[in-house]
Amino acid sequence: SGFPGSSVNAECTEIHYKSSHNIGIAMDTPAGLLVPNIKNCERRSILEIAAELNRLQSLGAQGKLGADDLTGGTFTVSNVGAIGGTYAKPILFVPEVAIVAIGKLQKLPRFDAKNNVVPVHIVNVSWSADHRVVDGATMANFSNLIKAYLEDPQKMILDMK
């Protein structure tokens, strides 16, 4: 599977496998919800991705995002947790084939191995995918990878460019 570098055409009759991962970041702007994307994430360091995200956020706040910033996405991340959300039902934006909504970090009671109630930090993640391109097992494996990276950010940094 070419996920997350896949897309479909406007008629949803063709699948395009791309070598680039252009990750859209949903953001609340004065013009409403816009999804600029960070181009070629697979080739960027974490610092380069952060710098590009800052650039896009600044342009979004000023209402100056250009067509190139808003087109070409292959996957979208929506942080509903930033506005207090815990779950969402993210809607695909064709031509993209997958989207994730990340909820707010919550401290909730859970049982440990000895049946004691302990506080645990939990983030809910909601996914949507076009199953003509991305099967459920691929999404589950991707979700588990993201979970592992969130639990051990050093591993994510080591696995990056």
Which of 93, 137, 143 minimizes the C-alpha distance to 123? Answer: 143
CB 79 within 8 A of CB 57: no
Burial class (CB in 10 A: 0-12, 13-18, 19+), 125: middle
Query: d(Cα 111, Cα 116) in Å, to the nearest integer?
Result: 5
Catalytic residues: 131, 135
CB 109 within 8 A of CB 117: yes
Which of 99, 156, 88, 154 minimizes the C-alpha distance to 124? Answer: 88
Q: What is residue 139's three-state secondary structure?
A: helix
Four-residue CA torsion sign, 142, 44, 98, 101: positive
